[in-house]
Structure 1
Amino acid sequence: MDLDLALVRAFAVTAETLHFGRAAERLGTSQQALSKRVARLEALLAVGLFEREGGVRLTGAGERFLPVAREALAAGERAVAAVTGTGAVVRIDTWGHLYAPMRTVAQAARELGGLRLEPGPGRDWPSVAAALTRGDTDLGFGRVHPLPDGRDAGLAVRVVRLEPVDAVVSASHPLADAGELRPADLRGSALWCPAELDRLDFLRRFAEEFQITRRQDGPNLGLDHLLQHVRADASCFTLFPADAPPPGDAGLRSIPLVRPTPLYAWSLAWRWTHRHPGLDPLLRCFSELGRASRWLDYAPERDWLPDSDRARLTNP
């Protein structure tokens, strides 16, 4: 049987929206035409892909067909790109937005020139890992950590940048005038976390490693809210990537951390079974940028990395 990719695409978009009207709108066609395409595919496969009573939902056959349908569509995009010389759009979901992950991705995109990125905001690593597994996105970029219950099985990860982090404190903090600090110097202060601590693997591991027993967290209300809280509370601090745009506020101080210097690992993630045509050029570009900018410099006697990040450096 030869599958018509137009029919497969009609199925995949309907499966994503679970609404024939919205799927038709996304595909720029009528609901009647879309329904005919899906019905034609079901007839060819001799199975029902959707339950239509009481709302649209996938049947068991539809659930099994969806991941391979996405792979077929991705393969079709790669085939077209191979003969036309035009790069397919790369869907990339980022997370850790307070730390501005796109500034690193943008450097690689500028170097590659023709790379067509379609950025998407991921809530956190677990949600991006789920999107990668479903085929809803091509790549993920942010800090990766092990997920329970095998939720990251089938995903490949490459660390592309290790970024030092600074301590950010109020100008009235007792340590505000220090030229540099050791992480242990912060034990008398409270670590302010921009979201619930159980969702912030790096900050949780930092606090455990350096015995920061006072921790405060709350909902992620954005960078302004985070800095406003630190500015107003002389007893707390937060961590911020050293190369990110500085807070630029007279009421705050950004102080380098040394002996050891904590490093934040930025990684690229993708599904093993789906290598987008833009992946290999992007990985090569990150490698070149890493060598030129020393993004992957790591000395165990000087720096600190959580165990899972260190393992990825030695076993990429």
Structure 2
Amino acid sequence: MDLDVAQVRAFVRTAEELHFGRAAATLGISQQALSKRIARLESLLRTPLFLRDGRGVSLTGAGQRFLRPARRTLEAADAAVASVTREERPLRVDVWGHLYAPTRTLAQVAGRAGTWVLGHGRDLPSVTDALLDGGVDVAFGRVHPPLRAGLTHRLVRLEPVDAVLGADHPLASEPSLRPDQLSSGVLWAPGPLDRLDFLHRFADRFGVRARTASVNLGLAHFLAGIAEDPRRFALLPADVPLPEVPGLRSVPLVDPTPLYAWSLLWRTGDGHPGLDRLTMACAAEARRSRWLEYDPARDWLPEPPPGSTAQVYPGSTPGGTRADAPAP
């Protein structure tokens, strides 16, 4: 059975759009031509790939199973063409944890990492699916176990975390705070804590029993909720620019300083040359900006690595690219 790449591409695009008209438009062909390609593919495979009814288009069970290997087939075909024409497809990068502004870090390496396109941002489970399905090449955010088979990650940055308080909070005038001083406050989270690994572990570690969640409608809306209760506080990486919300104060946390870990995540065996350039650019910036310094006597990580001596994480010193590293 020989697959026609044009038919496979028509299937994948329709599976992504779940709309025949939009899929045809993105491929630059008529809807009739698109339908014929998919019909021929379904005939070859002897099974329907889409359900078509008055409510729209959806994948059948066979279509769902076919999607991931179909994407990989297209990747292989595109790579074969690129090897001859010397045309390189841009690296597809996605992010998650958008409330913590992951693109701040990527912006510092963008000029040295070759050509890449940025996705719209998802949560970690969705990003994992997209990586395994071949929809994106690499993603950036906080990685935490368990990590699904077939993925590799590399630590890029350890960023100090500040407490954000309202002006009426009892600790708002302090120049710095220990995390345990927040134990009598109310942790204000941008969603259920069981889906926010870092905040969940912080609250457990430092005895914050009172926890409440908002709907994540963006940073300004999230931080405006702090003013509604003078006991509330939020946690944000230190470099996140705060919006113009009256009465907010960002206070450094010390003894220990919580660190938020940013990592690159990609599919094992991905051969896109842009991935090497991106990891090398991140490692160079980590050395220059001292992004990866960690001292267990001074800092706190949810999942600290083995050992008790001050260290600089893998990736902050010269060496091989795309090496595995701990994922705090």
TM-score range, shorter chain: 0.7 to 0.9
Paired residue type of 1:72: T
C-alpha separation in 2, matches of 1:289 and 1:78: 29
C-alpha separation in 1, matches of 2:50 and 2:175: 65
Specify the alignment match of 1:26 in structure 2. Answer: 26
C-alpha separation in 2, matches of 1:56 and 1:228: 40
Percent identical among aligned pairs is 55
Contact 2:258-2:299 at 8 Å conserved across structures: yes
How many residue pairs were aligned?
A: 309
Paired residue type of 2:229: D
Paired residue type of 1:303: D
Pairwise mapping of residues 270-285 of structure 1 onto structure 2 (< 5 A)? Answer: 270-285=266-281
* Structure 1 counterpart of 2:190, from 194, 208, 211: 194
Secondary structure of 2:139's aligned partner: strand
Is 4-13 or 289-298 further displaced after alignment?
4-13
Secondary structure of 1:167's aligned partner: strand
* Structure 2 counterpart of 1:185, from 181, 199, 214: 181
* Structure 2 counterpart of 1:256, from 252, 256, 261: 252
Specify the alignment match of 1:79 in structure 2. Answer: 80
C-alpha separation in 2, matches of 1:242 and 1:260: 15
Specify the alignment match of 1:288 in structure 2. Answer: 284
C-alpha separation in 2, matches of 1:283 and 1:35: 41
Contact 2:72-2:133 at 8 Å conserved across structures: no
C-alpha separation in 1, matches of 2:219 and 2:327: 34
Report how far residue 7 of structure 1 moved.
2.1
TM-score between both structures, scaled by the size of structure 2 = 0.85
Is 152-161 or 295-304 further displaced after alignment?
152-161
Specify the alignment match of 2:139 in structure 1. Answer: 140
Distance of aligned partners of 1:289 and 1:228 in 2 relative to their CA distance in 1, 3 Å threshold: same
Unmatched segments (≥5 aa) in structure 2? 307-323
TM-score between both structures, scaled by the size of structure 1 = 0.88
C-alpha separation in 1, matches of 2:117 and 2:208: 39
Distance of aligned partners of 1:51 and 1:125 in 2 relative to their CA distance in 1, 3 Å threshold: closer
1:222-254 deviations in Å (ceiling 9; x for gaps): 211222122343211111111221456551111
Distance of aligned partners of 1:102 and 1:315 in 2 relative to their CA distance in 1, 3 Å threshold: closer
Report how far residue 213 of structure 1 moved.
0.9
C-alpha separation in 2, matches of 1:104 and 1:315: 17
Secondary structure of 2:119's aligned partner: strand
Contact 1:89-1:115 at 8 Å conserved across structures: yes
Report how far residue 273 of structure 1 moved.
4.7
Specify the alignment match of 2:127 in structure 1. Answer: 128
Pairwise mapping of residues 46-85 of structure 1 onto structure 2 (< 5 A)? Answer: 46-51=45-50, 54=53, 56-59=57-60, 61-85=62-86
Report how far residue 73 of structure 1 moved.
1.2
The answer to whether the aligner puts 1:101 opposite 2:93 as a matched pair is: no
Report how far residue 313 of structure 1 moved.
4.1
1:152-178 deviations in Å (ceiling 9; x for gaps): 232222221111100111122221121
Contact 1:144-1:267 at 8 Å conserved across structures: yes
Distance of aligned partners of 1:58 and 1:253 in 2 relative to their CA distance in 1, 3 Å threshold: closer
Distance of aligned partners of 1:61 and 1:29 in 2 relative to their CA distance in 1, 3 Å threshold: same
Specify the alignment match of 1:16 in structure 2. Answer: 16
Is 86-95 or 170-179 further displaced after alignment?
86-95
C-alpha separation in 2, matches of 1:240 and 1:59: 42
Paired residue type of 1:162: L
Specify the alignment match of 1:119 in structure 2. Answer: 119
C-alpha separation in 2, matches of 1:99 and 1:12: 32
Contact 1:74-1:276 at 8 Å conserved across structures: no
Unmatched segments (≥5 aa) in structure 1? none
